[in-house]
Chain A
Amino acid sequence: MKNSLTIAGKELAGYFLQPVAYVVMTVFLLLGGFFFFALLRYFEVTLTAYAAMQNPEVLQKLNLNERVIEPMLHNLAIVLVILVPAITMRSFAEEKRTGTYELLLTAPIRTGEIVAGKFIAAAAFMLIMIGLAGMFPLILLAFGNPEIGVMFAGYLGLAFLAISFVSIGLFTSSLTQNQIIAAISCFGLLLLLFVISWPAQAGGSSFSDLLRYLSLPDHFAQMVTGIIDTRDIVYFLSLIFVALFLTQRSVESARWR
């Protein structure tokens, strides 16, 4: 455990010594801010339009969460599909390139500790980034009356999503020396998880149920609408565990191949 934390500490510090991390964070928060601003403006326009039309029914139904926070979170999820591979691509691939992989594998530490350390660092980075994006709900709270529970569930969903993305990124990075390959395969896998339920209408019913269950945006959407369901949590945790398990297997394989 101690070794995992040592590695995690070094990795996390390492993130901030490189420009990539800063670029990623900036892009994420900039886009988040843009979405927030655009959605909020549109909301305001809609609000005034319905107020002018003297339509109290619809006015009541207009919800800050539904119209601003939810779409923003969905958009940020898509942004993460592109940003996460950029962050994780170097985690193992870089080590192989600089020769420090040899250092880690010949040190008296378990491969599980290496994987855990890198995971903790990457997850922590994601949490920092998402935490910073929490400024948007705070702004809303200061000026409006959004539902706190729903926003909390939404951000929790985004955190789970980001951490599962990061695990998959670690996995693809462990498979290759080439960072570009690591990034592109991570991107491919993440995209696959987003579209996997598209053929669900065509198939027989239990197969399409399976596809629908595997669909990541479905689980994410549930949390964004304010429901914390154990099913969704189990799904995300499973994704994380499978990716980390496979990563550990992949790193371990150097020992016996």
Chain B
Amino acid sequence: MIEVKNLTKAYGNFVAIKDVSFKAESGSILGFLGPNGAGKTTTMRIITGYMPATAGTVLIDGLDIFSQSLEARRKIGYLPENPPLYPDMRVEAYLRFVAKLRDVPRAKIESALEHVLDVCGLTDMSHRICGQLSKGYRQRVGLAQALIHDPPVLVLDEPTIGLDPRQIHEIRGLIHNLSGNRTVVLSTHILPEVSQICDKVVIIADGRVVLEEYLKQLPAGTSLEDIFLTAITKEHHEDGATAEEKLEEVGAGHT
């Protein structure tokens, strides 16, 4: 599981995220929702150890990503906003490379490779050169490299961006089947994605968390869209009402 506590990231005077906290349990999928520029990617990068936080901690299955970096990283499979493919490598060679870097035991590499190619629908594409793939397939290869070492924690940054509807449906189905006893965090600004596959939602706007809630426990009859819009315009409420209070208002208004 992932525990994020009071994460802050500042670049000089500009504060990208402030006091971001949330928890993602194993066996569940957490949707990290927010408009563009809210700080989703920054948070993902800090969680996976690519960037350090200015303040706050991240615990991956109890391991601190900053001080126990090497062990914590072992547990994570990460699909960044842009799939990290080497344009000149063939898909198979690339995945093998990632498998070795991620300490997949030699004997198991072949079977892991086969499995992941199958799961991501890449079996026919294994000999293609990464740079020549379409956006959809590149996304799939990115997902494949995140999965190849069977990590307990999966962090996916906008996994369906730029895909066509059919591909989006496939990927979402894929992700949904992945949860098992894994912890999955996916960030997106596409609302249906969250409502369709996630168990929990964390809404972030302007670098601050405005809502952390299980989908099941959201007020009945409210659409996620309303919640989202209310939550992200919180700053414009002069009475300083919290998102929860606003939600009740809206919920009450809809009955």
Contacts and interface: CB of A to CB of B under 8 A. Distances in A.
A174 to B, nearest CB: 16
B83 A107 contact: no
A148 interface: no
Interface in A17-43: 17-18
B52 A99 contact: no
Contacts of B76: 106
A100 to B, nearest CB: 4
A106 B142 CA distance: 14
Contacts, number: 70
B136 interface: no
20 contacts: A17-B89, A98-B82, A98-B87, A99-B81, A101-B84, A102-B50, A102-B80, A103-B84, A103-B98, A105-B50, A106-B48, A107-B73, A107-B101, A108-B71, A108-B103, A254-B51, A255-B49, A255-B52, A255-B69, A256-B52
A79 B89 CA distance: 30
> Chain A's interface: helix, strand, loop or mixed, by majority?
helix
B50 A100 contact: no
A101 to B, nearest CB: 8
Interface size, A (range)? 20 to 34
Interface of A: 2-3, 6-7, 10, 14, 17-18, 98-110, 254-257
Contact of B100 (A6, A98, A103, A257): A6
Contact of B84 (A3, A99, A108, A257): A99
B85 A106 contact: no
Nearest to B88: A17
Most buried by A among B45, B78, B84, B89: B84
Interface string B99-137: 011110000000000000000000000000000000000
A182 B80 CA distance: 25
Contacts of B183: none
A212 B54 CA distance: 45
Contacts of B100: 2-3, 6
Contacts of B82: 98-99
B230 interface: no
Contacts of B102: 107-108
B71 to A, nearest CB: 8
Given A6-B97, A103-B145, 14 more contacts: A98-B86, A98-B87, A99-B82, A100-B85, A100-B86, A102-B50, A102-B78, A102-B80, A103-B84, A105-B50, A106-B49, A106-B80, A254-B51, A256-B52
